[in-house]
Amino acid sequence: MVTETKIQKNLKSPIPVPGTDEKVTDLVIVHDPNKCTGCNQCMIGCAYKHYKTFDKWYGLLYVYENPEKRGTYVNANCQHCVYPMCLAACPKEAIYKDEKGIVRISPLLCVGCGTCNQACPIGIPRLDQERLISVKCDFCDGEYPMCFQMCSAGALNLLPRKEAYEYVKKLRGV
């Protein structure tokens, strides 16, 4: 119940994106596997933005070769869900949705149990091996996300949630 109240409260105050009718909470990153070349620039850019290293494994999103279709790549990046499973599952209430609609993990409250990783349908939160807490995408604090800026083949799109849903349906031929 506590979790639900928190989500409802936070969803009441989405922040408008300057120059558009959109709210930050409405925008999501959508990956187009037909365009992705597997260059991993999104992971590298994310790693530099958050850890000041070009080691891609520090990135907070993931690109893998699709084992079912050679030469194509799948991507897992946080969707900052309207009702986040990670938030609902956290036993320490360390995960919250901030006023911009970004799902965040409080480094002070997190104990690194990994429940969020298990609860997330695409396993986005990961363990920070140095700090021993869970970390995840913070949507670059509501700026243009670095992964989106760095994508070298235009495979990452920044779309309003409704449009993103339609885009994905189209990609899947639904």
Partner 1 sequence: MIMANSISQTANSRGHKKYGYFLGCVMPAKMPWAEKATLMISKHLGLDFEEMKETLCCVRPGVWKAINTDWWLTLTSQNLANAEKQGIILVDSCNGCWISHYETLKELTEEPAKLEMVNRNLSSIGMHFSGDLKVKHFLEVLYEDVGLKKIRSNVVRPLDGFRIMRHIGCHARKHGDKLPGYFDEILRATGVEIIDTPYDKTCCGLLLYFSDPHTSIFDRIGVKMSTAKELDIDAYAIICSGCYDQFERAVKVFKDERGISFDTPIVHFSELLAIAFGYKPDDFGMKYCRPIPTTKFIEKLASKEGKK
Residues in touch with partner 1 (CB under 8 A): 35, 37-41, 43-45, 47-49, 54-57, 65, 69-72, 146, 149-154
Closer residue to partner 1 in complex, CB, 59/84:
59
Query: Whole-number minimum distance, CB 157 to partner 1, in Å?
Result: 12
Distance CA 88, CA 99 (A): 18
Closer residue to partner 1 in complex, CB, 3/72:
72
Distance CA 159, CA 28 (A): 6
Closer residue to partner 1 in complex, CB, 13/152:
152
Query: Whole-number minimum distance, CB 153 to partner 1, in Å?
Result: 4
- 3-state helix/strand/coil string of 103-119: EEECCCCCCCCCHHHHH
| Torsion sign over Cα 31, 123, 28, 173 | positive
Query: Whole-number minimum distance, CB 168 to partner 1, in Å?
Result: 20
DSSP letter assigned to residue 72: -
